[in-house]
Amino acid sequence: MKPIHTRAKRTAALGEAAVPSLAKRMAALLSALVCSLAMVTSMAVPAAADAGDPYPCGSFAGANNDASAIGWLGNGHGATVCLGGSFYVPNGIDTTYGFGIYNNAPTTWENAEGYLPALVTGFEADGAQVSITNFGDKVTMGGNDYVLIFSRVSITNPTDAEIALDPQPAAGMVELSSAGNEVAPSETVSHDYVVAADRFANGYAWPDAGQLAEVGGYDDHYAHMKDFWDSQISELAMPNLPDERLVEAYLSGFIYTQISRSGYALNTGTNGYHQEFNHDVTGILAGLFNRGYFKDAHALLDQASASLSTPAQYSDGYWTYPWLWSVYYRKTGDLDFLKARFATPGPQGEDVNPSIKSTAHRIADDRTGPNGIMGASGNADALGYFTTDNYVALLGLASYRYLAEAVGDSAEAEWADAEFNELLEAVDATLAETIETYDLDYIPCSILQPNTTNSCADPAMAGWAGPGVYYNYAWNGYLLGADLGAPDGIAAGDWADKTFDWGFALTRNVLPQDTFGGYGGQGFYSTAYNAAYGSWGLAGTKYRDQAIQSYLFMIENSQAGPYSWWEGADWPSQSTPWIGNHPKSGGGSSPHSWGIELGNQALIDSVVTQRVDGTIIVGRGVPNAWVVGDEAFGVTNYPISYGNRMNVDIVPAGTSVTVNVSGAVNAPIQVHLPAAIGNIASTSAGSFDSEAGTVTLPSGTSSVVITFQNTPSTERPRPDAIEAPPAEPSTLAPILETVSPEAAAAGDEVTLTGANFGETQDASHVRFTNNGINWGDPGDEADFEVVSWSDTKIVYKVPEPSKGYEVTPGTPATMKVVTPFGVSSSLEIDIVAETPTPTDPATDPTDPTAEPTDPTTDPTGNPSDPTDSSSDPTAGTTDPATAGPGEPTGGAAAPSPDRMPNTGANALPLILGAALLLGLGVAIVLRSRRR
Convert the pLDDT of each residue in 47-77 to its tens digit. 333 446 899 999 999 999 999 999 999 999 9
| Residue 454 pLDDT | 72
The 10s digit of each residue's pLDDT in 653-697 is: 989 999 999 999 989 999 999 999 999 999 999 999 999 999 999
Name which of 231-235, 366-370, 587-591, 856-860 the model is least confident about. 856-860
In the chain, the largest separation of any two C-alpha atoms, in whole Å, equals: 97
Question: 885: exposed, middle or buried (C-beta count within 10 Å: 0-12, 13-18, 19+)?
Answer: buried
| Residue 378 pLDDT | 82
Please give the distance of CA 263 from its chain centroid, rounded to a whole number: 20
pLDDT at 894 over 60: no
Please give the distance of CA 307 from its chain centroid, rounded to a whole number: 16
The pLDDT of 105-116, averaged and rounded, is 99
pLDDT at 20 over 50: no
| CATH superfamily placement of domain 742-831 | Immunoglobulins (2.60.40.10)
pLDDT at 909 over 70: no
One-letter amino acid for residue 872 of the chain = D
The 10s digit of each residue's pLDDT in 690-732 is: 999 999 999 999 999 999 999 999 999 999 998 887 777 777 7
* 70 DSSP β-pair partners: 79
| Residue 45 pLDDT | 34
Domain boundaries along the sequence of the chain: 47-233, 624-708, 742-831
| Residue 838 pLDDT | 59
| Residue 30 pLDDT | 39
CA dist., res. 504 & res. 442, Å (int) = 12
Name which of 39-43, 170-174, 413-417 the model is least confident about. 39-43
In this structure, what is the dihedral angle of CA atoms 228, 230, 232, 237, given to the nearest 10 degrees? 180
| Residue 171 pLDDT | 96
| Terminal-residue alpha carbon distance, the chain | 5
Q: Edge to edge, what strands does the sheet with 687-689 contain? A: 608-610, 616-618, 669-671, 694-697, 687-689
